[in-house]
C-alpha cells in the first residue's frame, strides 16, 4: 500500500500513459484499461510516483478522447467503470497514484449538454456554450482562430448563431461564465475523486474563460508561439481575449478547495500561452490554486545547455511560491530522441543523459510512455494518419501520430506484443527492436538506467525539493547546485559529443555521490566527463 504524503507531487515523477497505445487486453487493436492494469507492475518497477492516463471517457474520438461526450463514463473501446476501479485497486497495491486527464474547457458536439444547447435559444442549457450572433454581413463575431486551423467560430443553422471552438469544430467550448457549467465541472472532478483518483492533469487549463465582450485579438508582433507549428496561422495573433482570463484562477480556487477535501491529491495544469512561465505564480499560488503548471518550454526543437539554463532561470525568477512540472515529450510532440539528439549519440546514452538532467532540475517530471525505451519518432504515411491536426496541415506538419504508436512489449510477437489484431496505428520495426523484453535483457539499456536513476533519486530529498542555483559555465557544460536542509549537491552535465574536463576546484571539497549512473571521475578538483553524461557531488566548501 502507498504511504500517504500530501507533498508527494513536489519533485515527484509522473508516467504518462496514452491508453489507446499502451496495451490491448481484448485484442481489438486499441489499448484499454485492462491492458494498462496488466502492465502496472512494469510501471511500478520504474520508480515513478504516479501515472497520468490520457482521456478514456466516452467520446466519438474525433480527437481521440479529447472530445468528451460523457465525463462520468468510460468509452467502450477502453472498458468499463468496473475496469477502472480494478485499475485503481491494482495501482494502489503497487504504491502508484492514478491521475487522469480532464478536458473541461470543451466537450464533444455529441455531448447531451451541447445537443440540448443547440436545440434552441431558450432551453435550460442554451447558455452552457459560447454562442454569438454574426456580424451584419454574416461573418463570425470576431477574429478568433482555432488551433486546428481556420476560424474559432462555426455556424449553427438551428440557432442561427455561431458557436466557439478553440480546437475542432466538433469540440465546442463550454461557457464557464455560467455558474451551472462550473458546478457541473466540479461535480465531474468529485465523481472521479470518489472513485479513488489522486489527481488531475487539467487540459488547456487557461482556456476555461473567454472575454465576455468578444473583442478581436491583436496582431502578434512578437515571436511565434512555442506550441504551434510555423505553418499554422494561429501564430498570427496575440491570444489575449480568447483565453487566460482573470476568471480562470478564481475557478481554479474552487477546484483546489475540492481537491483539498481528499487525501494525497495533486493537480497539474497544461499551460498553453506565449510566455507560460509568467503565469506560473498566478496559477500555482501556494495552497490556493493548482499544485503545478505543465508548460511547453521543453517540448520544442530547441535544446542545449544555454537554452536549459535560460528557461530554468527565467522560470525560477518568476515562479514565486509556485511549482513547475517538467517534460521533454508527450502525446503531442515528436519523440525526444528524434527531436533533440544528433547522429553521434545512441538512444540509450541520450535518454539516460536526459533523465539524469530533467530529474535533477527543480520541479516535478512527466515521463511519456516509451521514452524509457529510447523510441524514435515513427514515420506514418499519409494514408495511415489518424490525427486530424496532421491531416489538416500535411505535409508541412505531419501531426501527432508519430509519437502515439503502440508501445512495443515483445520483439517477435505480432505488433510487438501490443495486440494480436491490427493496431490503430502501425508499430515500426525499429520500435519492435527496442521492445521492453529486449531492453530488459540488456543491463546497459536506457530502460535499466532510467529505472536506476529514478530509484536513486528517491533517496535524495535535495534533488526532489531543493532550491536551484546555476553556476558559471560554457557550452557544452551546464553546472548548478541544489540545496535543501543544509545539504548542497553540485550537478554537472556534458551536453557535447566529446569528452570534457571540467574545473570544479573553485567549489571546495567535493565528495562524489554514490550510486550515480555515469562513471565520471574527479581528479584534483577536475571532473573528467564522458559525452552526454552527468556528475553529482556533495559540496563541503564554498
All cell numbers assigned to 381: 504515411
CA separation for the pair 533, 476 (Å, rounded): 11
Pairwise pLDDT comparison (443 vs 228), residue with the higher score: 443
User: How much is the mean pLDDT over the chain?
Assistant: 95
- Confirm whether 218 is domain-assigned: no
pLDDT tens-digit readout, 26-81: 999 999 999 999 999 999 999 999 999 999 999 999 999 999 999 999 999 999 99
Specify the pLDDT at position 295. 84
E strands in 26-116: 50-53, 57-58, 70-74, 97-102
If asked whether residues 438 and 477 sit together in one domain, one would say no
Domain CATH code at residue 482: 2.60.40.1180
* CA pair distance 40, 74, nearest whole angstrom: 19
Q: Of all helices (H) and strands (E), which one includes residue 522?
A: strand 521-523
Beta-carbon-side half-sphere exposure of residue 395 (alpha carbons within 13 Å): 5
pLDDT(193) > 80 = yes
Does the pLDDT at position 107 exceed 90?
Answer: yes
Residue finishing a domain among 457, 479, 509: 457
C-alpha 148/C-alpha 136 separation (Å) is: 26
Q: Is 266 helix (H, G, I), strand (E, B) or coil?
A: strand
Within a domain: 111: no
Phi, psi dihedral angles at 144 (to 5 degrees): -60, 145
Whether residues 95 and 198 fall in one domain: yes
Asked if residue 499 and residue 366 are part of one domain, the reply reads no
State the Cα angle at 353 between 349 and 356, rounded to 5°.
140
Q: Check whether 224 has a pLDDT greater than 90.
A: no
Cβ pair 173, 130 in contact under 8 A: yes
pLDDT of residue 541: 55
d(CA 130, CA 203): 18
Residue 344 binned pLDDT confidence (cut-offs 50, 70, 90): very high
N-terminal to C-terminal alpha carbon distance within the chain:
42
Q: Name the catalytic one among 270, 369, 401, 530.
A: 270
How many domains does one find in the chain? 2
pLDDT in tens, 15-28: 999 999 999 999 99
Q: What angle do CA 518, 519, 521 make, to 5 degrees?
A: 125
CB 166 within 8 A of CB 173: yes
DSSP, collapsed to helix, strand or coil, labels residue 534 as strand
- Residue 398 maps to a domain: yes
Which of 430, 457, 484 marks a domain boundary?
457
Q: What is the mean pLDDT of residues 148-158?
A: 96
pLDDT at 5: 78
Verify that 520 and 471 share a domain, yes or no.
Answer: yes
Residue 226 has pLDDT above 70, yes or no: no
> What integer is the mean pLDDT of 177-182?
98
pLDDT number for residue 343: 84
Lowest mean pLDDT among 129-138, 161-170, 174-183, 533-542: 533-542
The H-assigned helical ranges of 245-304 are: 247-259, 280-283
pTM, 2 dp: 0.97
- The CATH number for 75's domain is 3.20.20.80
Dihedral sign computed on CA atoms, order 235, 236, 240, 241: negative
| 54 inside domain | yes
Known catalytic membership, residue 285: no
> What is the percent of the chain where pLDDT is above 70?
99
Residue 258's pLDDT is: 98
pLDDT at 220 over 70: yes
Residues 195 and 301 in one domain: yes
Q: What's the pLDDT at 273?
A: 77
Domain check: are 249 and 376 in the same one? yes
Task: Sort strands 521-523 and 526-529 into parallel, antiparallel or unpaired.
Answer: antiparallel
By the 8 A CB rule, do 383 and 340 touch? Answer: no
> Which domain, by its residues, includes 507?
467-539
Distance CA 129, CA 181 (A): 9
Place of cell 474552487: 254
| 123 φ/ψ angles, rounded to the nearest 5 degrees | -80, 165
Look at residue 161 and tell me if it is in a domain.
Answer: no
Interior CA angle at 141 toward 136 and 145, to 5°? Answer: 140
Confidence of residue 222 (pLDDT cuts 50, 70, 90): confident
Instruction: Let me know whether 388 and 267 are in one domain.
Output: yes
Question: Which pLDDT does position 216 carry in this prediction?
Answer: 98
pLDDT digits (tens, 9 = 90+) for 363-410: 999 999 999 999 999 999 999 999 999 999 999 889 999 999 999 999
Residue 115 lies in a domain: no
Q: Are residues 306 and 425 in the same domain?
A: yes
430 is catalytic: no
Task: Note whether 430 and 482 are same-domain residues.
Answer: no
Query: Would residue 449 count as lying in a domain?
Result: yes
Q: Mean pLDDT across the stretch 117-133?
A: 98
Q: Which of 432, 457, 482 is the last residue of a domain?
A: 457
The yes-or-no verdict on residue 326 having pLDDT over 80 is: yes
Report which secondary-structure segment, H or E, holds 123.
Answer: none
| 364 and 480 share one domain | no
Q: Do residues 429 and 516 share a domain?
A: no
Take residue 204 and report the three cell numbers written for it: 488547456
Share of the chain above pLDDT 90, in %: 91
pLDDT at position 228 is 82
Flag whether 172 is in a domain. Answer: no
Same domain, residue pair 280 and 322: yes
Residue 231: pLDDT band (50, 70, 90) is confident
Catalytic residue among 32, 203, 369, 372: 203
Amino acid at each position: 500500500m502507498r504511504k500517504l504524503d500530501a507533498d508527494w507531487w513536489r519533485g515527484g515523477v509522473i508516467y504518462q500513459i496514452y491508453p489507446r497505445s499502451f496495451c490491448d487486453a481484448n485484442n481489438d487493436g486499441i489499448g484499454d484499461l485492462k491492458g494498462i492494469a496488466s502492465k502496472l507492475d512494469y510501471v511500478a518497477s520504474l520508480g515513478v510516483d504516479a501515472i497520468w492516463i490520457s482521456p478514456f471517457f466516452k467520446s466519438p474520438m474525433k480527437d481521440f478522447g479529447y472530445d468528451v461526450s460523457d465525463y462520468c463514463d468510460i468509452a467502450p473501446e477502453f472498458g468499463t467503470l468496473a475496469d477502472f476501479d480494478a485499475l485503481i485497486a491494482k495501482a494502489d497495491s503497487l504504491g502508484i497514484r492514478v491521475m487522469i486527464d480532464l478536458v473541461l474547457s470543451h466537450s464533444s458536439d455529441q455531448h447531451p449538454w451541447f445537443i440540448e444547447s443547440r436545440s434552441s435559444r431558450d432551453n435550460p442549457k442554451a447558455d452552457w456554450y459560447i454562442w454569438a450572433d454574426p456580424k451584419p454581413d454574416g461573418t463570425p463575431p470576431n477574429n478568433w482562430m482555432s488551433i486546428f486551423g481556420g476560424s474559432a467560430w462555426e455556424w449553427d443553422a438551428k440557432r442561427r448563431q455561431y458557436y466557439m471552438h478553440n480546437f475542432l469544430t466538433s469540440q465546442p467550448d463550454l461557457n464557464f461564465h455560467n455558474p451551472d457549467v462550473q458546478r457541473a465541472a466540479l461535480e465531474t472532478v468529485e465523481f472521479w475523486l470518489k472513485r479513488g483518483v489522486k489527481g488531475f492533469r487539467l487540459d488547456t487549463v487557461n482556456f476555461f474563460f473567454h472575454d465576455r465582450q468578444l473583442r478581436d485579438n491583436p496582431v502578434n508582433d512578437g515571436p511565434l508561439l512555442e506550441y504551434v507549428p510555423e505553418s499554422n496561422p494561429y501564430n498570427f495573433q496575440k491570444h489575449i481575449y480568447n483565453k487566460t482570463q482573470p476568471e480562470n484562477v478564481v475557478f481554479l480556487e474552487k477546484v483546489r478547495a475540492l481537491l483539498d477535501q481528499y487525501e494525497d491529491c495533486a493537480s497539474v495544469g497544461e499551460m498553453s500561452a506565449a510566455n507560460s512561465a509568467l503565469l506560473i505564480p498566478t496559477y500555482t499560488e501556494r495552497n490556493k490554486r493548482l499544485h503545478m503548471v505543465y508548460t511547453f518550454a521543453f517540448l520544442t526543437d530547441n535544446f542545449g545547455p544555454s537554452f536549459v539554463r535560460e528557461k530554468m532561470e527565467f522560470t525560477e525568477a518568476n515562479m514565486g511560491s509556485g511549482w513547475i512540472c517538467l517534460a521533454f515529450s508527450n502525446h503531442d510532440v515528436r519523440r525526444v530522441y528524434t527531436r533533440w539528439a544528433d547522429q553521434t549519440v545512441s538512444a540509450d546514452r541520450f535518454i539516460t543523459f536526459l533523465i539524469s538532467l530533467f530529474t535533477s532540475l527543480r520541479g516535478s517530471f512527466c515521463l511519456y510512455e516509451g521514452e524509457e525505451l529510447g523510441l524514435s519518432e515513427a514515420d506514418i504515411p499519409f494514408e495511415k494518419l489518424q490525427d486530424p491536426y496532421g491531416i489538416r496541415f500535411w505535409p508541412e506538419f505531419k501531426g501527432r501520430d508519430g509519437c502515439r504508436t503502440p508501445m512495443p512489449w515483445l520483439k517477435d510477437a505480432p505488433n510487438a506484443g501490443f495486440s494480436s489484431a491490427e493496431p490503430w496505428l502501425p508499430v515500426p520495426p525499429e520500435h519492435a527492436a527496442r521492445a521492453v523484453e529486449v531492453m530488459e535483457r540488456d543491463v546497459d539499456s536506457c530502460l535499466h538506467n532510467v529505472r536506476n536513476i529514478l530509484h536513486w533519486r528517491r533517496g535524495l530529498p535535495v534533488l526532489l525539493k531543493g532550491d536551484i542555483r546555476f553556476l558559471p559555465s560554457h557550452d557544452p557544460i551546464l553546472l548548478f547546485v541544489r540545496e535543501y536542509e543544509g545539504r548542497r549537491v553540485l550537478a554537472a552535465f556534458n551536453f557535447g559529443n566529446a569528452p570534457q574536463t571540467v574545473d570544479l576546484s573553485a567549489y571546495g571539497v567535493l565528495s562524489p555521490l554514490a550510486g550515480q549512473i555515469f562513471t565520471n571521475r574527479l581528479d584534483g578538483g577536475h571532473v573528467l566527463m564522458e559525452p552526454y553524461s552527468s556528475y553529482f557531488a556533495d559540496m563541503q566548501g564554498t
